[in-house]
Amino acid sequence: MSAWLTIVAAGIATFALRFTPARLLAGRPVSARWEQALDFIGPAAFTALAAPALVVAPATATPALARLAAVVVTVAVARATRSTAAALAVGMPTFWLLAALAAAG
């Protein structure tokens, strides 16, 4: 029950942020710094979610080298192709291949 209440409360908080048209900001020029900070909440949140999932247990149950290689390959393909799907389509098999080699070796 508590989990349901939590996501409903989180939804209400989110809706308030969407609906209340930020009266303090509306009609006023937003400073470049503030805008830059808000712009980076997205990428910062993604990285802050991703990094522990790759470095902290239970991820550590998988071969470290395979994980590292998958990260490097995924980021490189994402930058080169600008396609998330392509990055994952190369990144995950990289992990599978190296993890299988690590298990065999």
Partner 1 sequence: MLPLLLGVAPLGLIVGVQAAAADLPAGVGAATGVTIYGASAQLAAIDLLGRGVSPMIVVATVAVINVRLALYSAAMAPHWARIGTAQRVASAYLLVDPSYAVGLDGYRRSTSVAEGHVRYLAAGLTLWVGWQALITVGMTIGARVPAGLHLELAVPLCLLALVAQRVDSRRGATAVAVAGGVAVAAHGLPLATGLVAGILAGAAVAARSTPR
Q: Which of residues 14-43 bind partner 1 (CB under 8 A)?
A: 14-15, 17-22, 25-27, 30, 32-43
Can residue 104 be called a binding residue for partner 1 (CB under 8 A)?
A: no
Q: Which residues of 14-32 are buried (b: 16+ CB within 10 A; e: fewer)?
A: eeeeeeeeeeeeeeeeeee
Residue 35 Cβ vs partner 1, minimum distance, rounded to whole Å: 7
Residue 98 interacts with partner 1 (CB under 8 A)?
no
Which residues contact residue 92 at a Cβ distance below 8 angstroms, ignoring those fewer than 6 apart?
70
Shortest Å distance, C-beta 4 to partner 1:
6
